[in-house]
Structures are given as C-alpha cells and as structure tokens.
Amino acid sequence: MNIEQKRQALGKRIRAVREEQGLSQSQLALMIGSSKSHIWRIETGRVGVGIDDLGRIADALGSPVRDLLTF
C-alpha cells in the first residue's frame, strides 16, 4: 500500500466514523478548530494528516487513533 492509498484509507475511515455518529463535515471541523474544506480534503485523501490534527479528530470522534488507522 503506497502513501496515497494510506491517506485514502484513513480518510475513508474518518468519514465512516463521522457519518456513524451523524456528524457533518462542518460540525467535525468546528469541533477540531478547522474548516469544512480541510475535513473534505482529509476524507478524500487529498492531504496528509499531521499527528496534531489526527489526535484532535480522534478525540472529537471519541475514537482511539489506532481505530482510525486501518492499514
């Protein structure tokens, strides 16, 4: 699995957990102090996610980071 595929897998998992919780991209963005467009770029694998953002996303979703990393 190359880095692009890993970014896409992470984004797909974040999106799935967010949707399971009934959160919109805008709501998640507000929870982590980001923008909706940044969440969209993360979920589509267009950008890499730094450890700080990943930690904030995991906390907002109530999920351990390890559960977001499915690869």
Per-residue pLDDT tens digits for 15-68: 999 999 999 999 999 999 999 999 999 999 999 999 999 999 999 999 999 999
Report the number of distinct structural domains present in the chain.
1
pLDDT of res. 5: 95
pLDDT of res. 70: 85
pLDDT of res. 30: 97
Task: State how far the alpha carbon of 42 is from the alpha carbons of 10, 14, in Å.
Answer: 8, 8
d(CA 13, CA 24): 14
- Given pLDDT bands bounded at 50, 70 and 90, which one contains residue 71? confident
Domain around 11: 3-68
Q: CATH code at 22?
A: 1.10.260.40
